[in-house]
Amino acid sequence: MTMPGDPWDTLLAAFSRADPPNVTLTELALAVMTAAALSVPRRSWRYFGLLATATHEMGHAVAAVLSGQRLAGIRLLLDHSGTTTTYSRSRLATAWSCFWGYPVPALVGAAFVWCGFNGWGPAAIAGGAVALAASLVFLRNLAGVLITSAAIAITLALILFVPAAFVGHVAVILGLALLVAAVRDLIKLAHVHLRRRDRLASSDAYLLWRATSVPSGVWILLFAALVAGSWLWAWQPISTVLPAEHRVFP
């Protein structure tokens, strides 16, 4: 860990491309194990899952803004639930913003993995900090502010005190953890529709059915397709570390 000379210059420099990290097979295995440790055990998921929820809700929020809706606020709770409130007269726009919740953690995760392998790891971390900071304006509860502020503080510490080459490894780990989180949340969603139907009112797939009359199962399959595509995107840089006989892509 090194102390930054000028914090502002260090932050700005994070948005430029650094030397790509030389990820060995051993380092990749450690990254996978660390990502699994963040997103699989209940104790660590209790905390990392909050970041996955924040990413999910930001997906709704960004989609709402891009479709011309009025974003009223975001609420994040410590039980991994969250809500994004928007106002629109267009049912299509409402469905659009409702859709981009479950796929976004996987898409962000794949982007982090790609950036980590290609020298843009610090930029991905810094961009994440900017996005989180922008979301503070729309947060409407104390838990949401605390969750987001903690995530911003951690990302700033990474940028200011950790060498850029190692930040690339961190971006890969965070990306993999978000990809696992996306699968975990999809399984939870399917469980709600199959076994916990008393909780359907909180399901994005159910809300999309209400808005479009397209069955919830179709929306869940679309979520799954985008999550699978994100894993495929992330696999391409990962596969370059593997021996040639284990690669899916040449």
Query: At 182, is the pLDDT very low, low, confident or very high (cuts 50, 70, 90)?
Result: very high
pTM above 0.85, yes or no: yes
Q: What interhelical angle do 121-135 and 164-194 show, nearest 10?
A: 60
Quote the tokens at residue 102.
């479950």
pLDDT at 237: 94
Section 181-197 average pLDDT: 92
Which tens digit of pLDDT belongs to each residue from 56-99? 999 999 999 999 999 999 999 999 999 999 999 899 999 999 99
The pLDDT confidence band at residue 248, using thresholds 50, 70 and 90, is low
For 120, the token pair is: 């843009």
Q: What percent of the chain has pLDDT over 70?
A: 95
CA separation for the pair 155, 52 (Å, rounded):
15
**Boundaries of every domain in the chain:** 7-240
pLDDT at 242 over 90: no
C-beta neighbour count of 225 within 10 angstroms: 11
Over 90: is that where the pLDDT of 10 sits?
no
Inter-residue contact 220 to 190 (CB < 8 Å): yes
Over 80: is that where the pLDDT of 5 sits? no
User: What pLDDT is attached to residue 185?
Assistant: 96
Rounded to the nearest 10 degrees, how much is the dihedral formed by the CA atoms of 186, 231, 66, 74? 40
Q: Give me 218's structure tokens.
A: 């179709």
Q: 189 or 195: whose pLDDT is higher?
A: 189
Q: Which pLDDT band holds residue 115 (cuts at 50, 70, 90)?
A: very high
CB < 8 Å & 24+ apart, contacts of 20-27: 20/117, 20/118, 20/119, 20/168, 21/116, 21/117, 21/119, 21/121, 21/165, 21/166, 21/168, 21/169, 23/117, 23/169, 23/172, 23/241, 24/241, 25/241, 25/242, 25/243, 27/169
Q: Report the chain's mean pLDDT, rounded to a whole number.
A: 91
- Residues 114/237, Cβ–Cβ less than 8 Å: yes
Query: Which tens digit of pLDDT belongs to each residue from 127-164?
Result: 999 999 999 999 999 999 999 999 999 999 999 888 88
pLDDT of residue 200: 84
How many C-beta neighbours within 10 Å does residue 183 have?
Answer: 17
Which residues does residue 156 pair with via DSSP β-bridges, in sequence order?
Answer: none
pLDDT recorded at residue 198: 75
Residue 229 has pLDDT above 80, yes or no: yes
Percent of residues in the chain assigned helix, strand, coil, to nearest 5: 75, 5, 20
112 pLDDT higher than 90: yes
